[in-house]
Structure 1
Amino acid sequence: MFSLFVKFWIDVACPESMVHNVGLEVSEFSLFLKRAYEKAESTGCLIEDLAYQYILFYLQAGKIDKARKVAEKLSSGKLSEASTVWLLRISLEIKCLANKTSSMSNDDLNYIFQLLERVLNRLSLSKAEGLWFMALKVFSCHKAYFKRLVKILEGALARCSSNCESSVSAAVVDRTLQSDGILNARVLYNGFFALPHPGLALFKHCIELEKNLASLGDAAALQNARRLYESALEIYRQDRDLWKDYHAMEIKMGTSTAANAVYWRARKELKDTTGFCPPS
């Protein structure tokens, strides 16, 4: 009910509303909207979407300090697991710090990291994905903080009750590859795969990484790609595309013997091998 009520007043108060065309005072409608948010909060009806709009209400009115206070209050209370509220809160904090100086101080960075750490340790990886990418954007160039983020990520991956398909892990591997090289990236992704329920998307991402390196002449990359395929197939044995990609890689980069071996294993495991190139 509150959601519909608030939506009505938002539509009325917006600049394109018909009330502007007839000369009605919009500030009065904004007051009704403010009271609606406050009533929803006081009665325990302030769900995540409404809370997000509540903060935006003050932000759009130019009341940044009030928006920050509301965001802090809501994210510290019943909406402590509302990812969009946290995302808006931390975005506001970063914006306010950026307005004060051209670059954040160590104290500023530590403050933002503590906020992110609090929520990232609490929320599931899938729910907090936007917060993770914010954290990577802010701290990817700060090695000490990035290492701490990796530890938090390992904890989040370990808490996954099923196969985790978040793209955060792949982004962390890519960042490590760019800044610290392939050896460190391999150490990192092997650590991720040692955790429970490694996701197929991360396997495929790392396989592509190794295949690209193999095409550039990295002697170890092809063996690493094979090892990753084998590890992935231990978990995702019935994934037809995985077998097909493995077979295609061996045809392109490996030997006919290796390609034939993968083909016959796939034939044995799968009911349908349509699209596979049969052995010559």
Structure 2
Amino acid sequence: MPPRSTPTARQQRLGHELRKLREQSGMSAQQAAALLGVDRTRIPHIEAGRFGISPERVRTLAFNYGCPDAGLIDLLAAMTQERERGWWEQHRGLLPPALLDIAELEFHASALDTAVTTHIPGLLQTEEHARAVFDTAAPPLPGPDLEARLALRLRRQEVLDGARPVRYEAVIHEAALRMQFGGPAVARAQLEHILDRSERENVEVRVIPFSAGGFPGAGQSFTYVSAPVAQLDTVQLDSSHGSILLDTDLQLRRYRGLLERLRGLALPQPASRDLIRALALEL
């Protein structure tokens, strides 16, 4: 089987974690290949996500690497499943792979914590608001591309209310709530939608008001994607050049700390809902 030309972020992460375990054990790639009975060049390809690996072989490597974390091993074994099982694969070839990686991350998450300052989180956007946002793209998006992005964004929202609703907390700056994409009527409906969503047990929305003043990370939007095992957590950053995924221990600690600081600046949920309701009444 030829190597994958474009491994997904999840496939790359599996390989990255296997490489970490191997390096921590002090074992060489050649020694790991001997454990599996494969050519020594196979291990670098596996660790780069270019070649798949079976659950049984993941367990074999983890055992010989001396990994003591059974939960981590189970999750790594589960990550070997092929990409065809995800609903987002129907969009492959139509949209940038990074957008599909976000959908896959959210689908497998145990919790999602997002912090935004200038826009409404995608998981809380109405169809009309999302369409208005995509309409502002520069250069303008072709019609089919816009519709494909819109369909993906709306389908992603199923993680909040599907068969396995994920715990979701959004910290939103007041500036984002005052942006009137699509005009006052669309903006009002968007604020009312956020209020409706925030009534769900698994969803919490908190607002950083203008009165909070300056704060760390202002202007930056990110989502902390929690996995069932903390070692597999990921931070997804929004940027003008697309999505960026971070997963080193140092980066994860940094963004966990940043989240805590932002939560400390945000209003409690009842007061946040009151502010959102007041902003909707102004429109």
Q: Which has the larger radius of gyration?
A: 1
Q: TM-score range by the shorter chain?
A: 0.3 to 0.5
Q: Give the structure with the larger helix fraction.
A: 1
TM-score by length of 2: 0.33
Q: Give the structure with the larger strand fraction.
A: 2
Q: Does 1 or 2 have the higher relative contact order (CA < 8 Å, sep 6+)?
A: 2
